[in-house]
Amino acid sequence: MARSSVFLSGYHRCFAKPGLTLGYSSITIDDWLLTEAVRIQEESGGRRNDDEAANRIARNLDGQPPARLMARAGALPGAAEARADIARIRKLLARCFTAIVTIGAVGGLVAARSVAAGREIDFLLTGLVLVGLPTLMLAVWVLVLATTARRPITPSVSGHLAISGSQRLAGLLLTSPLRAELIRAASRLLAGPLGRWHLSALSHALWLAYALGAWLGLVVLFSLVQYELSWGTTLLDENQVVELITALGTPIHALGFMPAPAMEWIAAGREGVDLGSMRADWARFLLGMVLVYAALPRLLLLMLCVFLSRRAAHGLQLDARAPGYQRVLPLIRPDRPDGERLGAEPPPDETRPLRQLGAGAGAGRPGLLGLELGQDVGSWPPKLGELAVDDLGQVERREQFQTLSAALAAMRDKPRALMAVCSLKRTPDSGTAQRLNQLADAAAGALILILTDQDQLSARGVDPETRLQDWNLLARRCGAHFLVMDLNQPQSTAVAQLKTWLEEKP
């Protein structure tokens, strides 16, 4: 219990960090990645055998099922190593982001130097390279976003190769047992809205760096070298080009980067004569084009995508319907003193006749099982006086339930009765009734419910009579007898009642 307390306190400290709102609890992307990685591992390799302490911590946590799932994942052995790997992934992504932005800035500088290789700069060609290329890529981004807005991002062939390469790289850079699962969880995160806006922000940051690099390169070149700027065309209509330059220059003039575009000013640039003082105006026009049409849209879209990614992070959720979570949820149901039901309440008017002893009553001994008791295996099976029973073990997980149900159905000499030990600390729901009915149908005999833990229930301040009424309704739904018994010291009257039920004749 001391180790469990350490785990719990550490988890609460982690939860107390400023995080992202999940709607019912606080969650960070790190918590989501860790919990998803645990789910992926358990779905492929089965539930872990060293999770009992983590299960207890999750059961003691107040909150909805996703919060308990995260508490369990954070308390599992190896969670600290997994969190260290997540921190390494963050550092690696930060370095990749820095490298991509650097590449964009260097690309802009190279592009600016290439268009200004000589002392004469063609205005239209330079604008096409420094502004047209980023604008074309912006149109491609809008098209991709419009076609994938209502569906998850599907990895292309290159995407699958990147994921496979990342998983191989994880074996070299990451050290935790969950390293491969963390990469798969991160890939799933990138396939959703959060990943869409993160990748979009990265794209805009790349082209923003490209535009700023080109702008800075032109500023340096124009400050140190005298260039002649002109424009010309062979196939295009000159009047249309003049109208285009006028339209492009109007917003730049409105922002104060250049004088108002006039026909004679534009015509002087077409003739390629000595522009004199107009040379600086054309330079400012080109610099203004790079800022207004290449850098400014990317800056605004970058801020928008960062905002949308944060909003998507606020809506980040765990899919509690996933098979891996469904197998774990019954193990981390809290024992609530207020008697909260974990499933649908059994309809009170749905009853069935009492089940009769099986056909093999003369030979088959009754079978004894524990249903979701959460007790140590060492204290099982309980001693029921001189009553001879066949031990069927404790059923906690779905796999155990399915295995026992199939074994009972396949038995040739079935038990005359199935005795299910249940804890009064649990409020019965429709799922409990369904499991008991399925086991009793497979055994084809009587069903007896042995209810225990009454003292522990009273110690929590819960009225046992109210809980017994709930179990009485469930017993009627299942066609079962039921009684209350202390398994540590079985009462003689309770054992006698069991014998009476087991010896009844139809």
How many residues does this entry show for the chain? 506
230 and 123 Cβ atoms separated by less than 8 Å: yes
Residue 475, in any domain of the structure: yes
Tens of pLDDT, residues 227-263: 777 676 666 667 777 777 777 777 877 777 676 666 6
Tens of pLDDT, residues 265-299: 676 666 554 555 677 777 888 888 899 999 999 99
For the segment 146-166, the average pLDDT, to the nearest whole number, is 58
pLDDT of 168 above 80: no
pLDDT band of residue 163 (cuts 50, 70, 90) is low
Residue 486, in any domain of the structure: yes
Residue 31, in any domain of the structure: no
Residue 299, in any domain of the structure: no
- Greater pLDDT, 330 or 197: 197
Nearest 5°: CA angle at 434, between 432 and 440?
100
Give the range among 27-41, 198-212, 368-382, 413-427 with minimum mean pLDDT. 368-382
Tens of pLDDT, residues 59-112: 877 778 888 888 888 888 888 898 998 998 888 888 888 999 999 999 999 998
DSSP 258-296: SPPP-HHHHHHHHHT---TTHHHHHHHHHHHHIIIIIIH
Q: What pLDDT score was predicted for residue 211? A: 93
Q: What pLDDT score was predicted for residue 103? A: 94
**CATH number, residue 497:** 3.40.50
Sign of the alpha-carbon torsion through 43, 49, 50, 51: positive
Give the range among 18-22, 73-77, 212-216 with minimum mean pLDDT. 18-22
Tens of pLDDT, residues 376-390: 656 788 888 778 888
pLDDT of 157 above 70: no
Residue 59, in any domain of the structure: no
The burial class, CB within 10 Å (0-12 / 13-18 / 19+), for 249 is buried
Q: What pLDDT score was predicted for residue 76? A: 87
Q: Could you tell me the residue range of the domain that residue 445 belongs to?
A: 345-502
3-state secondary structure at position 484: strand
Q: What pLDDT score was predicted for residue 23? A: 34
Q: What pLDDT score was predicted for residue 214? A: 92
pLDDT band of residue 205 (cuts 50, 70, 90) is very high
The count of domains in the chain is 1
Q: Whole-angstrom Cα distance, residue 15 to residue 69?
A: 13
Give the range among 278-282, 338-342, 352-356, 441-445 with minimum mean pLDDT. 338-342
Mean pLDDT of the chain: 78
Q: What pLDDT score was predicted for residue 21? A: 32
293 and 131 Cβ atoms separated by less than 8 Å: yes
pLDDT of 338 above 80: no
Residue 329, in any domain of the structure: no
The structure tokens listed for 16 are 């107390």
Residue 135, in any domain of the structure: no
pLDDT of 114 above 70: yes
Provide the percentage of residues in the chain whose pLDDT is more than 90.
14
- Greater pLDDT, 248 or 419: 419
Predicted structure pTM score = 0.58
pLDDT of 159 above 80: no
Residue 356, in any domain of the structure: yes
